[in-house]
Amino acid sequence: TRSQQRRDTAVRDSRGGRLRNGGQHDDGDADNQGDSDNEGSGPHAQRSPTLEDYANHEAATLAADGFSPWWPDAAENLHHYLGNTGDPQSMNVDKMLTDLPQLSGNSENAVKVMAGQAVTKSQESGATGPMTYPFTTAWSQEYTNQSTQPNWFYATGNYKAATDGTITVYPPSDDNPEWTYKYDYRVHTADRYNWDGTKSTDIVGVPITDKQLQELHQAGLAQEYDLVGESSVQHGEGPP
């Protein structure tokens, strides 16, 4: 779908934010959904499951059911992992922008930096009318807080975010002596839902270790997957 194509493009785009002429840009190597050498559980179904694996799968399912009313996104993502499809899962970025003020603020600040560059470029070109510039911001690392944002902490933890959109610059006019701009953009997010086997978390009184969940992937009872998402179009305007 067109929405999926935009998400795929956002994941592929360069880490370096840039204005783009006519919407053209060079694809970078930013595969933000992959794991580093120290992340993930290795090959799926690399061994046969044990009785302990089946018991841990059932315990994790019950835990996800238990905290679903309070942490719906965390529960949904854990259920998807336990569902063992490995299919990509969508991130609700509009909800993230509401629940995670640092994501909203960081995204808008990054767009305003691009807007300032667009104004400078328009001024240097001697523009006498509106000029529109497509742009892509750099991917940035975003963080969640376990104590104040538990739903998203357990749903995704740390993740990547970037924006793309357009900025229209308006030169001074009889009604306004200042250079101004308006922008429209989407926020894109990407992450890998996996377990590295080094942490233990107490979730609503149930101790669950990364190692237990990691071993479900290794035993072929659960499967790691990509998390990707994009927001609805955000709007803004301002002076340089």
| Local confidence band at 22 (pLDDT 50, 70, 90 cut-offs) | very low
Calculate mean pLDDT across residues 111-123. Answer: 97
Rounded to two decimals, the pTM is 0.84
CA count, 13 A, side-chain hemisphere, 221: 21
The strand pairing partners of 237, in sequence order, are 182
User: Measured on CA atoms in the order 190, 193, 197, 203, is the torsion positive or negative?
Assistant: positive
pLDDT above 60 for 103: yes
Average pLDDT, the chain: 86
Cα 159 to Cα 51, 83, 103, 127: the distances in Å are: 33, 22, 10, 39
Q: Are strands 140-142 and 159-170 parallel, antiparallel or unpaired?
A: antiparallel
Q: What is the reported pLDDT for 203?
A: 65
Q: What is the reported pLDDT for 196?
A: 76
User: How would you label 132-146 residue by residue, b for 16+ Cβ within 10 Å and e otherwise?
Assistant: bbbbbbbbbebebee
Q: Are strands 200-203 and 234-238 parallel, antiparallel or unpaired?
A: unpaired
Q: For the chain, what percentages of helix, strand and coil (3-state, to nearest 5) are there?
A: 40, 25, 40
Tokens 């030169």, located at residue: 171
Q: What is the reported pLDDT for 230?
A: 98
Calculate mean pLDDT across residues 70-81. Answer: 97
Q: Residue 179 in contact with residue 239, Cβ under 8 Å?
A: yes
Q: What is the reported pLDDT for 207?
A: 76
CA count, 13 A, side-chain hemisphere, 203: 26
State the Cα–Cα distance between residues 202 and 210, nearest whole angstrom.
Answer: 11
